[in-house]
Homo-oligomer: A and B are copies of this chain.
Amino acid sequence: MTTEKTDIQIADALRAVAERESVTDVFFVACGGSYAHMMPNQYIVEREAEQINGIVLNAAEFKARAPKRLGKSAIVILCSHSGTTPETVEAAEIARKAGALTISLTHVLGSPLDVASEYTVSYTHEPRTMSSLHSAAVLTRLTFGILHAREGNKKVDDLNRALDAIPAIAESVVKERASKIAEFAEAHKREAVIYTMASGANFGTAYSYAICILQEMQWVHSAAIHAGEYFHGPFEVTDFDVPFIQLIGVGPSRGVDERALAFAEKYSKRMTVLDAKDLGVSKLPESVQEYVAHLIFQPVLRAYAVSLADAKGHPLTVRRYMWKLEY
Contact = CB atoms under 8 A, between A and B. Distances in A.
B58 A226 contact: yes
Contacts of A210: 223
Nearest to A212: B233
Nearest to A232: B32
Interface stretch (A104-112, A135-143, A317-325): A317-325
Contact of A64 (B35, B69, B231, B253): B253
B33 A47 contact: no
A230 to B, nearest CB: 9
Given A46-B55, A49-B69, A65-B200, A229 B252 contact: no
A130 interface: no
A253 B62 CA distance: 9
Contacts of A224: 223
A263 B327 contact: yes
Contacts of A69: 46, 49-51, 53
A157 to B, nearest CB: 20
Given A48-B68, A193-B193, A327-B231, A236 B219 contact: yes
Q: How many copies does the complex hold?
A: 2
Contact of A235 (B85, B238, B321): B321
Interface string A250-286: 0111011001000100010000000000000000000
Contacts of A229: 31-32, 35, 58, 211
- Chain B CB count within 10 A is highest, among A60, A65, A68, A252, for A60
Contacts of A48: 68
- Chain B CB count within 10 A is highest, among A65, A217, A233, A255, for A233
A152 interface: no
B228 A216 contact: no
Contacts of A263: 321, 327
A22 B146 CA distance: 26
Contact of A215 (B33, B43, B222, B236): B236
Contacts of A65: 43, 46-47, 200, 252-253
Nearest to A80: B232
A47 B68 contact: yes
Contacts of A33: 232-233
Given A216-B234, A221-B221, 5 more contacts: A25-B53, A43-B65, A211-B233, A212-B232, A216-B233
A1 interface: no
